[in-house]
Amino acid sequence: MLALAYFETGSTAKTIEMQERALALLPPESYFHAELEPNLAQYRRAAKNESPK
């Protein structure tokens, strides 16, 4: 949820950091890990598409 909040406010770098931290805490075989991985990929794609400031 925290990663999503960062994403919705445009903080993609913080979004990715929080999502990676959440995934690191979960066992790879857990349901939540499988749910969060696609979100991380989405956040990384969004970060790539951002224009440099």
pLDDT tens digit string along 24-51?
A: 999 999 999 999 999 999 999 999 998 6
Amino acid at 10: G
pLDDT tier at 53, thresholds 50, 70, 90: low
- Residue 48 DSSP one-character state: H
Q: Which residue has the tokens 């913080």?
A: 14
Domain locations along the chain: 2-49
Rg of the chain taking only CA atoms, in angstroms: 11
User: Which pLDDT score, from 0 to 100, does residue 3 have?
Assistant: 93
* Per-residue pLDDT reduced to its tens digit, 1-28: 899 999 999 999 999 999 999 999 999 9
CB distance 23 to 6 below 8 Å: no
Rounded to two decimals, the pTM is 0.84
